[in-house]
Structure 1
Amino acid sequence: MRQRRRNRALQRSRRATNPTQYRLSARQQQRAQRRQAAGLPPVQVSVPGGARMANAAGIPVQAYRRDQLSAGYLRLRAQAAADGAARTQAGRTRARIVAAGIVASHGPDLVVEAGDLGAWARRWGRSIHAFTPGTLLAAVDREAAKVAALAGGGGLVRAGTRDTAWTQHCLCTARVPKQLHHRRHTCPHCGLTGDRDLVAALIGAHTVLTDPAVPGTARVDWAAAQTTLATHGMDAIKEGLQGARRVGRGSLTRGPPQIRT
């Protein structure tokens, strides 16, 4: 809300300082026509509310950099730039803290889907800035690389989704198709139920890559997945998934679920 008010103030200041570069708004034009029809003198509009003066190609007649800018405009613009830098820094700091918690809980040997984050931005728009997945993923990558360098191995790798399809499978190897709005995993074959993303993460923990630098070489080690299922048992895995969901709602510092692979 504050940023929206500031943007309106900046736009109004620019229009008031450069009134000849903007057309009248539809309401202002109607008012001028009514006054002309009534024989009244025209009113000088100090802040035109219409579009920028432009040629047939839509290019402004005068470049924005040539506009006259008031002292108030320059002050507001400087404040907006400072606030934007502060938000960016706060987001990066939060991403580093979350990344440190993830690596501390689950270790530096991590596998993530090699998804297109640009598609997220196109779908969710400005709301993506609430969690900035690209910033978080980059922070996790850096944190995992640093810890892996000290530990002598590991790091974050990206797995392709075409052949792995984590969200469309169950730990028992059965394929369980889901639409995007289906957030619950229920396997009709083995009876495993749980949060869709947590089950997918459990399958992702059994993903191996022939070449860690090539996401397309990722494959799910289904033999290892079945071993995990046989070793821990269905009840223990369900309990681990429920514990992981409770941790996700709270703090990352509470530790990972008790199911390990």
Structure 2
Amino acid sequence: MSTPIEPKQPLHPSLIPKLDPEYVVFHEKYIQHATPRYTLPWDSVKMRAGSSYTVGSKKPLEVGKIEEFELKKGGHGRKMRAYTPPGEPPIAGWASMVTNLCVGAKCVVLSVDYRLAPEHRFPAAVEDAVEALQWVLTDGKVLLNLDTSKVATGGVSAGGNLAAVLALKSAEDSSNPPLPAPMALQLLIVPTLDQTATDAPSGRWESNKYAPMVPPAWMNWAKSLYFRTEDDWLEWEASPLFGSRGIAEKGTQGLDWSRRDGYPL
């Protein structure tokens, strides 16, 4: 008789009644025996490899035009991809998501290849995001025929963090060239907005600390790769929930450990 394989990411019993039965079957078939990435030694190739169930891995939609540009400030040479919807322009790290936004909202969507940790720690990604937005307001305005009076920012998870930071930075007077103020919209999908959060009793993660796939231990691992010290967590460029707030559309999930990040303190 074969020995049962011990699951590496089992669903906590308290979660099962709250989950869609279809997801439970999916988790038990594809996820529970997979080794969590945060328990493995860092390998940039393996860690950044996608999978069939990665968020945004569906087939991209057809758009009118896809163009690539390069951000050269600071000598980093980061790339940026612009998705333009089909048809006439409106009067007024993930292709499937950005193409859906491009077609559905009838707007130009730019995806930025910002520097990643642990090779480039905080605030490198923030600096790249700011440079990309400044490019939109200068070169991009001309090259892509953009209406820069209606600029929005958006992202998923860590991208949602950067999107919120950009919206806060847009209100600063010190940016050169100045950023759009205020932003027309922040589209924040399961954003990480408070780096000081924990799963301790009364902590922001406590209510959903048994969340599947991406538990608090995963987030703590990711923070250790991104930030140099815990003091960085207190900066609003790291925890935008500590900054002022603008118009935002926040998408959270009922069993997401970071769900309370989607609500004010």
**Structures share a fold, TM > 0.5?**
no
State TM-score, norm by structure 1: 0.22
- The structure whose residues are more often helix, as a share, is 1
